[in-house]
Structure formats: structure tokens, C-alpha cells
Structure 1
Amino acid sequence: MLHTVEKIGGTSMSRYEEVLNNIWLRAHTPQGSPATLYQRIFVVSAYAGMTNGLLEHKKTGEPGVYALFAEMDEKRPWQNKLDQVLDNMLSMNAAIFSNDVQRKRADQFICQRFADTRTCLENLETVCNFGNFQLDDHLHQVREMLSALGEAHSAYNSVQLLRQHDVNAVFVDLTNWRSDSQPGLDETIRRAFGGIDLATQLPIVTGYTQCREGLMKTFDRGYSEMTFSKIATITGAAEAIIHKEYHLSTADPALVGTDNIQPIGMTNYDVADQLANLGMEAIHPRAASGLRKKNILLRIKNTFEPEHEGTQICSDYCSDEPKVEIIAGTKGVWALEIFDQDMVGNPTYGEKMNQLVQESGVRVLTKDYNANTDTFYLKGNKRRINWLMDKLQQVYPDSDIRVEKLSMVSAIGSDMNIPGLLHKASGALSEAGVNILSVHQAMRQVDIMFLVRDEDYGKAVEALHQQFVEKSELWQQQASA
């Protein structure tokens, strides 16, 4: 096939005029074909901040509609939060549409969705006041329903905006809103694209797909990437493209300075997996696996520098010479340590422990253990961590359990078989005054992780970037090429 499947992130979507000019109205040239605005499928995220308001803030944990509804507070604070998110969406509509007719149409669309949502949640509250029905049994569906609002809003608006510029855009609503059936993910996508002519129509697709599998059970807020990947593999895309507000670079420019970073021209899916594990994903690893199996090239592009070719991610790339390609990491990692002498020599000791970690809904970044201690390095909110600690203490009453908040910093590359790598990294951190609390290095030589104090995160990233990128002859040669 000639077409591409392209995903636009939430921060980019909020700068809709630049998205319009840099992406949608910018013609591309499919291989062997004339330039066209078509032969593209766009999967859009919610505008920046909307999903945080609907669920919970991704970084701070501030409760959104979902989190407030789950608490079942008699004062019903979720209703005010729902009104607040709707007001934000209507303000976005007012900013986008100067035409009163289009704005009214956009307002009516999202207001109806919110009215449906409010009625549904109020009825569910009533039902769950009876002992026969438990709210916990329905929270997954509530989370799915609320997630759908953000992407439906941005996708619908995008179609109206494009039609205003004489582009034959079509709204592909995968949320199955008010549907009386629940097909699987693949079938939902096949049905949606069955009657679309990519040569003359430009599909704008909701990043959220309501399906029998329940995307959020597995991917939580990475669901839009799974939708994007599935559409690419099912429709046989020539290329998959993700538009972000920044280049995939050697480090976060906010930490090491924009003059010190280098955009990464090429890397592989293995590196993308390591980034995803840290929450700095180029793409969710499960979504990437589908593209990898179908041998579809993935490209990461900067929305605001459309001339730049971006980063190509493929299966078989390996750097010509061993080097560190990216310094990445994450703050707010919970180190959960379980010490118990009964663990020694008992191969089944940790089975229930692993099960509880999975049930807690937190994300495991890595794990280490010795004869009598297991330590999980986790990402999740404090409420889930506390739940996990209580459950573990019930199952292992004689164990000592403690938790500490740390940061994780990682050096990543497609080939890091560099003599003295650990020595150089440790030395750089030591010179920067950063104490290493734990270190993880796998034999595959694609990443090395350091656990440090939360307050040392920025210093650690800067120190490793200076050592392996700014002082590296390989990177200096690339910059001057």
C-alpha cells in the first residue's frame, strides 16, 4: 500500500494551527505517485490536559473525574470536575472556530457526549447503592468511557477544521458510543475502514477504541498507540509516523540544554522498548511489536519542524560503532523492598508477591533480588503503592517491607558493548556528587540503569549526557558531518 498511518500527540494537537499547516495541509509524495493531501490516516490524541482532567493527572496524580468518581464521596465532587473539563473543551472550541455555525456544531457534539456520560454515571451511582452491585466491578468501564471523550472531541473538531479548508476529511469514531455491540479490536477497525477511499478521503480517527478486549486493561493511557499500530498493520501501511512536540534526542533539552542535545537519526525497536519502560515512550512496546512483525518503518517527527526527516525506528538497525544513544529516565520511582529470611531456598516464595504486584496496577520498571530480599522498582500513585504494601504484609506477615522514593536514570543504545562503560558512568556520576543506590546492566548491552536519590535526577542525567554524548568523538563527528 502507498498510504501512511500517522499519530498526533496531545501537546501538538493543542497547537492546532501549526498541526494544520505543518502536517494536514502539507502535501506528501507517496512512492512513485504525485504529491497529495490524501493517502494518509491520522490518529489523534485528546488536546493537552483533557485526559488528565477526565482520569487523573499523569505526572502529579491530581484526581480527575474518574478518580473522584471512584471515591464515591457523598458530596459528588466528580460532577464539578466533569463540568470543569467540559468548560475547558468548550473554550478550546471557541479558540479553534471563528465561524459561529461550526463552533455551535462542535459544542453540540461534545455537550451531548458529556450529557450522556453524566446520566450514565449518576445511574451507576444509584445502582451501586444496593448491596448486590459493587462499584469496583464497573470502574474499568467507567475509565474507558471517560477516556473516549477526549479523543472524540479532538477528532470531531479536526474534521470540521479541515473541511473549512476544503479537505475531504471524515470522522472515524472508534469509541462505539451508544453501540449495541462490542466487536473485537481488529474487527472494529476493519469495519470502520471498509468503505473509506484513501485516495479521496482523509480519515481522522479517535485515538481511543472501544472493543471487547478493553484496551485500558493492558495499555492504560497508551491505548492511542495501540489503535495507531493496529490501524497500520491491518490496513497495510507503507510507514507509521508519530508527530510529537520534540525530536527524539540524546536527552531532555530542559535538563541538558538545547545546544547540547543531538537529534537521533536512526535507532531500533529495542531502544524504543527501553524508552517505553521508563515512560518516555516513542511508542508502547506492545504497539511496536505489531509494526516490527509486519516490517513497517516507524518514524518519529517533530510537529514544529516539518522539514526534518525525524528518527527512523526499524528492526535491524545497529549503530556502526558501539555508543550510548540516549540518556533517559524518570523521577518518582518507588523502591519497594521485601526482606524475609523464609525466602532463602524457597523457589515458590515470590509467586503470590508477583501476582499482587500485577493486581495493584502499578508498572514494574525493573526488579532485583538476593537470597532474602526482593526489591521492585515501580511507577504508580501513592494510593496503589499503599494498597500493595498492605496486601503484601497480609500475605507475608513476618517480612519487613519498606518503600523509598527514588529516580531512575538510564543510558540506552542499540549497541553499548563499550569497554569500561560501567566504570565511566559511575565515575561521571561520582564527580557530579551523585550517589548510586542501585545499578542494573543486562548482558544484551542495550541499557544500563542507575537508581539515585530523587533530588539528584537532573544532575545524573546531565553528568551521563556530558560523558557519553557531549564528550563523545562519535557524536561530535556526527554533529559536524
Structure 2
Amino acid sequence: MTHSVEKIGGTSMSQYQHVLENIWMRPRSVNGAETSLYRRIFVVSAYGGITNGLLEHKKTGEAGVYALFAEMDDGRSWQSRLQDVLNAMLAVNMGMFGTEGLNNDMVRKRADQFISSRMADVRDCLEHLEAVCSFGHFQLDDHLHRVREMLSAMGEAHSAYNSVLLLRQHDINARFIDLTNWRSDTQMSFSDHILKAFQGVDLDKEMPIVTGYTQCREGLMRTYDRGYSEMTFSKIATMTDACEAVIHKEYHFSTADPLLVGADNVKPIGMTNYDVADQLANLGMEAIHPRAAAGLRKKNIRLIVRNTFEPDHQGTEIRRDYCSSTPKVEIIAGTRNVWALEVFDQDMVGDATHGQKMADLVFESGVRVLTKDFNANTVTFYLKGNKRRINWLMDRLQQVYADADIRVEKLAMVSAIGSDMKVPGLLQSAAGALSDAGVNIHSVHQAMRQVDMMFLVSDADYATAVKALHSRLVEQADIWQQQQTA
């Protein structure tokens, strides 16, 4: 079928008037078909900040409802946090449907009743679970992943339901597809849930608005955590045989972060491949979750990343088979707060199995490995995670490797990424750019495939390193290549 599946991010969803005008009410041709408002399936994220309130802040780690409930504090602070989130949701409803928005009190009351009822159910469920787990036979840890799933569902249910109400007031035949499985006594697999939800949907006449969260037997949160909406998006695209997948974001897919290097210095990227998307995901700067990308890649579904606020821009197309016509650096990206955990152990020399337990403990700690390096007697892991998990890992490693010297240092990682970076002298030029900017390089990583080049630098040098590499490898790329061949 000639249709697209499109995901709208949380920051964009908060700017619902722009989404309405630039996306939903803007007819579009899908794969050369006749221009129409329909033949598009929309997967929506929660409004900006709502999921942070329900779970925990994605960047700062500030406790949300889930984190507070997991602590089982006698003060029951999770209850007031839950009310805070509900108040924020009702404020969104007032903005959309109140006097400053649609100015339709009846629609606002419907929106308020929907989310208030669901949040009341959540409160009742958590209170009952709290009571049950006060008995020694029941342990809260056995249920926390289900609590996290339930709370996650609230944000997307809220935004999807509101979107349908809004679209219907503008004479668009929107259809609410609720994948949260709310108050259902059956539990299906991920695939079966998607298939059942789309039975009877007429894409020529209906615009499905789908919750980004899907409740299923596999448990999306356990595997993908906050990437669950992209997994839903990808699964719908592959299960319905979409010809293209579109992600609407609040910014262009660009050569670097415009906030770091300046909006006038970055360039939107017209086309790249899934390999580049994977490298960005490894840094936590996801165009799309790598597991979600894998499904699209296997089905050869092209992915387009578009700027919500510039609807006339063609966006960035990510394809399976793309490779830049000339080798070059396409993106400078990176991440701060990288923990370099170094284990020096003389007993490692000549023992191929010595590090197996080490790798198991890193996995068990729950931190994310960006990369690692090793020589005869030293292994260094470059990790992303909170300090508590890092400390736990260091303690466990010291218990197992009693004679090892273990130390940790906070660094930043900056990467040059491209679909083909086989440029002679590229490493020399990159290192020179950092050196000229006064940045000391702690470690360098480059694989033989030459799609990325990682530099570990001091955390304080992160912004300087990004700007230096972007200036030399992107902004001055043509000049530098001419200098190399002169």
C-alpha cells in the first residue's frame, strides 16, 4: 500500500499549532501518489516534559513518579508528583481547547475527563500495589518494570487522544488508535497487537493517530526503555508495508549542533545512510533508535527526518544503500559525561579469558558502553551512566580483580561521522585541528570501515573540540582537500 508512517517528537507535539498547520493539515504526496491529507499514519510522543515527570528526567535524572514510587518512601511523595503531572496535562488541555486555543469548553472537558480518569486508575493501582508489597511475600522489585510500562503509557495516550479531538474540530477524519491495552484482560505479542489495531482502518479516508507506547507481551520498556515510541513507529511501518517512514523533529538533521557551532555554520544533510544513524545512536544523539532502524533497514523502507517548523524543506533522507559520492565527514557529534574506567592488571597478560567476568559485570551494571580499548595488561571502558552505577561497577570489579589498579576519569567523546570517510590524511587533519584549538587528546578510535572517528577529550574541552573539528573537517573541507592534493 502507498502510505507513510510518521512519528512526531515530544518537543514538536508541544507546538501543536505548528504540527496542525505544517503536518496534519498540509496535504502531501506519498511516493508519487495523488496529494492527500490521508494515507498517513501518525505515531505521537507525549508532550514535552510529561514523560520526564512520569518516569525521571532524561538528562538530569530528577525523580519522577516512577523513581519516587520505587523508593517506597513513607512520605509517599510519588502521590504529589503524580498530581503535578496531571496538573501539567490539564494545563496542556486548557492551552489547546480553552480560550487561548480552540475555545471549545465541551471538547476541553472531554479531554480532561479522559486523562483524569486514567491518572485516577494509575493512582489506585499504585496504592494497591504499595499495600500488597507491604507483606513480605511480595517484593516491589518484581513489579517495577510493569509500573514503568503503565506510567509510560499515560503521556502518549494523552497526546494521541487530544490530537484526535483537535483534528476532528478541523474536519479531518482522525481515528484514535490506543495501543496502551488499557483495562484489557488479554495480552498480545507486539506484532499481533499492531495487526489487530489496524484491522478495518481505511487509510484512504482515515488519519490514524497512534499512541507511541505499545503494551505487549514482550514489554517494550524492559528492552528499549525510552526508545519505545520509535519501536512502535518502526513496527507499524514494517507490519503495514509502508513505503516510507518520516520523523518530525524540532530541528534539521545537520552537520553539528547549531547551539554549539552556530546556526550559520551548520548545514542540513540532504542524504545519508543507516550506518551513520547507528553511530549517532551510539552517542545518544538518536535520529532513530538503532533497533527501530534495523527493522526499516531490513525492509528497505527509506527514512526521512523533517523539521516540523520548516515544512517546505525536503529534510534528510536515510537510505540503506546510500554512500556519499566523494569521501567526506558528514557530521560532528559527541557526548559529555563519559566515564573512562581503566583496569590495569598484570595477570591479564597472555590470558584470553581473564576479561570475561569484567565484561559480564559491565553488562550487569546497566551502564552503556560507547567503546573500549585494551592492550596487554589494561582494559579501558568508555561508559555512559550515573555515578552510582559507576561506583557499583568499580566496587564489584575490585572484588573480582583484587590485585588490579582501577581508576575512573570523566571525559567527553567527540566523533567525526560519515558514510564514507576514506579521506587521506583525515586523522592528521582532525588531530591538528584539536591541537590548534588547545585540546589535548586522551584517546583515539577508528575502525577499518572508516565511518566514524572518535576522540576522547577532557569534559571541559567538549564544546571547543566540536567547534574545532566542524570548522576544519566540514566548513573548510574543500580548502583542506585542495591543500592535501597540492
Q: Distance in 2 between matches of 1:41 and 1:264?
A: 25
For the residue of structure 1 that corresponds to 2:329, the secondary structure is: coil
For the residue of structure 2 that corresponds to 1:444, the secondary structure is: coil
Cα deviation, residue 314, structure 1: 0.4
Cα deviation, residue 83, structure 1: 1.1
1:322-341 mapped onto 2 (5 Å cutoff): 322-341=327-346
Gaps in structure 1 of 5+ consecutive residues? none
Does residue 107 of the first structure (1) align with residue 116 of the second (2)? no
Q: Distance in 2 between matches of 1:454 and 1:183?
A: 45
Letter in 2 for 1:417: K
Q: Which residue of 2 aligns with 1:257?
A: 262
- The verdict on how the C-alpha distance between 1:410 and 1:382 changes in structure 2, with shifts beyond 3 A counting, is same
Does residue 422 of the first structure (1) align with residue 427 of the second (2)? yes
1:146-225 mapped onto 2 (5 Å cutoff): 146-225=151-230
Q: Distance in 1 between matches of 2:298 and 2:331?
A: 24
Cα deviation, residue 393, structure 1: 2.7
Cα deviation, residue 421, structure 1: 1.1
Cα deviation, residue 219, structure 1: 1.2
Q: Distance in 1 between matches of 2:330 and 2:194?
A: 36
Letter in 1 for 2:269: I
Which moves more between the two structures, 414-423 or 380-389? 380-389
Does residue 73 of the first structure (1) align with residue 80 of the second (2)? no
1:170-319 mapped onto 2 (5 Å cutoff): 170-319=175-324
Which digits, 9 at most, give the CA deviation of each residue in 1:173-223, with x for residues without a partner?
111112212111101100100121101111000111111111112211111
Which moves more between the two structures, 448-457 or 384-393? 384-393
- The verdict on how the C-alpha distance between 1:400 and 1:469 changes in structure 2, with shifts beyond 3 A counting, is same
Q: Which residue of 1 aligns with 2:413?
A: 408
Q: Distance in 2 between matches of 1:33 and 1:471?
A: 41
1:314-463 mapped onto 2 (5 Å cutoff): 314-463=319-468
CA contact (8 A) 1:469 1:475 kept: no
For the residue of structure 2 that corresponds to 1:403, the secondary structure is: strand
Cα deviation, residue 467, structure 1: 0.3
Cα deviation, residue 341, structure 1: 1.9
Cα deviation, residue 21, structure 1: 0.2
Q: Distance in 2 between matches of 1:120 and 1:386?
A: 34
Q: Which residue of 2 aligns with 1:40?
A: 40
CA contact (8 A) 2:31 2:243 kept: no
Q: Distance in 2 between matches of 1:237 and 1:15?
A: 26
CA contact (8 A) 2:328 2:423 kept: yes
Q: Distance in 2 between matches of 1:149 and 1:31?
A: 34
Does residue 136 of the first structure (1) align with residue 141 of the second (2)? yes
Cα deviation, residue 369, structure 1: 1.4
CA contact (8 A) 1:333 1:377 kept: yes
Cα deviation, residue 32, structure 1: 5.1
CA contact (8 A) 1:470 1:476 kept: no
Q: Distance in 1 between matches of 2:203 and 2:363?
A: 41
**How many residue pairs end up in the alignment?**
477
Q: Distance in 1 between matches of 2:470 and 2:32?
A: 41
Letter in 2 for 1:84: D
What is the TM-score with the length of structure 2 in the denominator?
0.96
Letter in 2 for 1:381: N
CA contact (8 A) 1:239 1:296 kept: yes
Cα deviation, residue 115, structure 1: 1.0
Which digits, 9 at most, give the CA deviation of each residue in 1:209-241, with x for residues without a partner?
111111112211111111100000000001100
Which digits, 9 at most, give the CA deviation of each residue in 1:258-303, with x for residues without a partner?
1001100000000010011111111111111111111111000000
Cα deviation, residue 360, structure 1: 2.1
Letter in 2 for 1:421: L
Cα deviation, residue 389, structure 1: 2.4
Q: Which runs of 4+ in 1 moved over 4 A?
A: 474-477
Which digits, 9 at most, give the CA deviation of each residue in 1:45-86, with x for residues without a partner?
111111111111111111111111111211121111111111
For the residue of structure 1 that corresponds to 2:161, the secondary structure is: helix
CA contact (8 A) 2:472 2:480 kept: no
Letter in 2 for 1:46: A
Gaps in structure 2 of 5+ consecutive residues? 98-102
Q: Distance in 1 between matches of 2:113 and 2:394?
A: 46
Q: Which residue of 2 aligns with 1:91?
A: 91
Q: Distance in 2 between matches of 1:14 and 1:172?
A: 20
Q: Distance in 1 between matches of 2:395 and 2:66?
A: 23
Cα deviation, residue 31, structure 1: 4.1
What is the TM-score with the length of structure 1 in the denominator?
0.97
CA contact (8 A) 2:349 2:376 kept: yes
